[in-house]
Chains A and B, each alone.
Chain A
Amino acid sequence: MIIGTIFMITACSKEDDVAPDFEEKNLAPLSIEFDNIVGDRTFSINNTGSLYTNSNGEKFSISMLQYFISNIKVSTADGITYTVNQDSSYFLINGADRASRFTRVRVPEGDYTKLTFTLGVDSLRSTMPVDKRTGVLDPALGGGGHDGGGMYWGWNSGYIFFKFEGNSSVISNDTSGDPTGKKQFKYHIGGFGGYSAPTINNIKTITVDLTNAGIARVRKDRQSNIHLFVDIMKVFDGTNRISIARNPNVMFSEFSVNIAANLTEMFKHDHTEN
C-alpha cells in the first residue's frame, strides 16, 4: 500500500501536464482561432480568378466576411465552467484581416474539454447605453452604417452578427437580384430579439466538444490555441440549402433565420495547439 502510494506520487510528479487546481484568479492565456475555409478550399477574399461553387452549382467570389464572436466560456471535464469577463469578450473576425482570426482571452489554468461562444452580440449588450458600446461594438466603427464595414443597424439599434458579401453571375439584373448590374449578393444576418417588443432572434450559441481533436491545456507559461475551422460554405450548404440566385439579398427578414440556422454548422474543431 505504502509502496503503491509512493509509486503514484512519483508518477504524478513526473507527469508535468497534470491539470492544476482550478482557481478563478489564476489566469493564463488562451486563444481560439477562427480559421475561415470554404468547403474543401482555403478562404480568400476577391477570389474572382478561382471561384467557389456551392452544392447548387452556383459559382461565387467573396468580397467581404465579418462576424462577431462573443461571450466565450470554457468547461473542464469535471463540469466547472469559466465565463470570460464580458467586457473583454467581444471580437470581430474580419476575413480580410488574417490577424483578426484569433480571439485572445484569459482563463484560469486548467484542462478544458468544452468551448462555448456566441455568434453575434447578446441581447443584453445590444440594449446597453452608448458608453458600453466600445471597441468592436462602437456603432461608429466602419462608419456606423450597414454599407461598407459597418456592423451596426442604426434603425433598430442592433448589430449585424454575420456579414457576408460577394458576387455571382447567377444573380439577375432586376430588382429581385442586383439592379445595379454588379451581381452582388449580400447576407447581413442580425436580430437580437427586440428592445421592448419581440422580433426575430438570430443570436446563436455554439458549443464545441474538444475531447476528440484535443483538449485545451491552459498554463501560464504557454499559449494554448483552440484551432477551429469555420466553413463559410455552410451558409449555402447547411441544413437549409440556400440558392444565391433565389435569395441574393438577405438582411433583416423572416428568411434570415434559415441562414442563421446554417451558421451554427460552420464551426468544426480541427486541433488544439498546447
Chain B
Amino acid sequence: MKRKHWTVIIFFGLFIVACQKDDAITTEIEKWLGFVKPAHFPEPEYNLQNNPVTKEGFELGRALFYEPRLSRNNTITCGSCHIQSSAFTQHGHDVSHGIDDRLGTRNSPPIMNLAWNKAFMWGGGVYDLDLQPIIPITAHEEMDDNVANVMNKIRSLPKYQAMFKAAFGSEEVTTARFMKALSQFMIMCISSNAKYDKIIRKEPGFSFTEEEEQGYQLFLQKCASCHTEPLFTDNNFRNNGLGISPINDQGLYNATLQETDKYKFKVPSLRNLRYTAPYMHDGRFLNLNAVLRHYHEEVVETPNLDPLLKGIKLGIELPESDRSKIIAFLNTLNDEHFINNPLLAEQ
C-alpha cells in the first residue's frame, strides 16, 4: 500500500473518532431527564400526574420565571427576589423589595424542593403550587399587576406563542397553562447534591469530618424533630418563640383565623443556609449564631409556643461549644450544584 492511502485511512479514522466524541457531547447536553426524584427523598407532594414535567413546559416556565412582564411596569421578575446564586432567595435583605423598591413584610423564601411542600408562604394559606404565583403577581409590594393583564402581555409576544404551542399543543394562554408551566420550572429546582446528600447516598469519597459528625449527632438530638431529614423541614407550622414583631405578624392565623394558629410560621428547610441569610420569616437574624443563640436563650413564651420548646427552661440547650459543631454540620447542606445549575439559570 502506498503511503498516500495510509494517510487517507488515518485521516478517515480520526474523523470518525471526532464525530463520535461530538455526538456523545451533544447527547449529554441535550439529554432531558425530566423530574427525577432523588433516591433518598420521599414521594413528592406535588401532583405530577396532573402536570407532568416536559422539556418544553419547563423551558416555558423558566422563561416566565425570568420574565419582567409579570410585573406592572415590566421591571420585576420572579427571579428578582428569588435569585439562584442565593439559593433562590433575596440574600442580604431581611424583607424583600419588589416593584418601585416597595418593601414587603417577610423574608423571601427559597424556590427549592417545592415538589415536597405541603403548604406555601411563611403563613400558609396556599396549598397548591399552581395557585401560588397569583400572590406575588398581584401583591402591591411585589409585582403589583394583575394576572389577566400579565397573560395579555405574554399572549402578544411571538416568543411565547411558540413556547405555549410547544408545551401545550396550541398557542392559547390560559390561567391553568400559565401556572402549570411556572410550576414545572419551580419543582425542577431540586437541591439534593450537598455533601450531606452524597454521604447519605454513600457516594465514594465523601464522609463527615469529626466536627461535622458531632454536629450531626447534636442536630439529631436537638433540631431534627422539626427540621426532619432529608428535606430538613417537617412541613408544619410552629411558633418557635420569636418575640412579637412591631407589625405583629400573626403568621398562619391570618389564613385560618384559628386562635391556636397565632404566631405559627412554616418550618423552613435548613438546606443552603450559606446562601440564604438573613433568617426567620422577617429576616431578623443576620447569621446562624444569632439563630442558635435565639433557641438557647431568647425564646419568648408567646401564645401557642411550640411544646418542644417548653422544657425545664424555654428553648433548646445550645451552649456555644455545641453551636460551632452544629454550624459545621449545617454547612454540609450547602449545595453548590444547585446554585450553579445552568438549567435553572436565566437563559
* Partner-B contacts on A (CB < 8 A): 127, 129-131, 133-134, 138-145, 148, 150, 152, 154-157, 194-200, 252-254
Contacts and interface: CB of A to CB of B under 8 A. Distances in A.
A131 B127 contact: no
Contact of B148 (A140, A154, A197, A253): A140
A252 B258 CA distance: 12
B290 interface: no
A139 B121 CA distance: 18
B125 A143 contact: no
B175 A196 contact: no
Contact of A200 (B149, B175, B252, B257): B257
A197 B179 CA distance: 24
A196 B125 CA distance: 9
A254 B253 CA distance: 12
A197 B134 contact: no
Nearest to A158: B125
Given A131-B176, A145-B138, A157-B126, A140 B147 contact: yes
Interface string B168-183: 0000001110011000
Secondary structure class of chain B's binding surface, majority of residues: helix
A129 B128 contact: yes
B50 A143 contact: no
Contacts of B212: none
Contact of A156 (B118, B179, B255, B261): B255
Nearest to A155: B125
Contacts of B180: 130-131
Contact of A144 (B124, B146, B174, B257): B146
8 contacts: A129-B130, A130-B128, A131-B180, A143-B146, A143-B149, A155-B125, A194-B256, A197-B258
A140 B175 contact: yes
A127 B47 CA distance: 13
A175 B175 CA distance: 36
List of 3 A-B pairs having minimum Cβ-Cβ separation, nearest first? A143-B146, A144-B147, A140-B147
Contact of A199 (B137, B146, B148, B255): B255
Choose among A129, A134, A142, A198 the residue with the greatest number of B CB atoms under 10 Å from its CB: A129
B151 A140 contact: yes
B130 A144 contact: no
B175 A139 contact: yes
Given A156-B255, A199-B258, A144 B127 contact: no
Interface string B247-268: 0000010111110010000000
A150 to B, nearest CB: 7
Contacts of A138: 175
Given A139-B175, A196-B119, A252 B151 contact: no
Given A129-B50, A130-B130, A154-B131, A143 B148 contact: yes
Contacts of B137: 144
A143 B147 contact: yes
B163 interface: no
B239 to A, nearest CB: 15
Contacts of A152: 134
Interface residues of B, number: 33
B119 A139 contact: no
Contact of B176 (A130, A144, A198): A130
- Chain A at the B interface: mostly helix, strand, loop or mixed? loop
A131 B181 CA distance: 12
Interface in B70-90: none
A138 to B, nearest CB: 5
B134 A154 contact: yes
Contacts of A154: 126, 131, 134-135, 138
Nearest to B183: A130
Interface in B225-264: 252, 254-258, 261
Given A129-B50, A199-B255, A199-B256, A150 B175 contact: no
Contacts of A194: 256
Nearest to A132: B176
A129 B132 CA distance: 12
A133 B174 CA distance: 11
A138 B175 CA distance: 7
Interface string B129-143: 011001101100000
Looking at A154, A200, A254, which has the most chain B CB atoms within 10 Å of its CB? A154
A200 B174 CA distance: 31
Contact of A139 (B134, B149, B256, B257): B134
A150 B135 contact: no
B126 A145 contact: no
A143 B247 CA distance: 28
Interface string B143-176: 0001111010000000000000000000000111
Contacts of A156: 125-126, 255
Contacts of A199: 255-258
A140 B153 CA distance: 14
Interface in B171-215: 174-176, 179-180
Contacts of A197: 124, 252, 256, 258, 261
Contact of B127 (A141, A143, A145, A195): A195
A252 B255 CA distance: 9
A145 B135 CA distance: 8
Contacts of B175: 130, 133, 138-140, 144
A145 B128 contact: no
Contact of B125 (A134, A140, A157, A254): A157
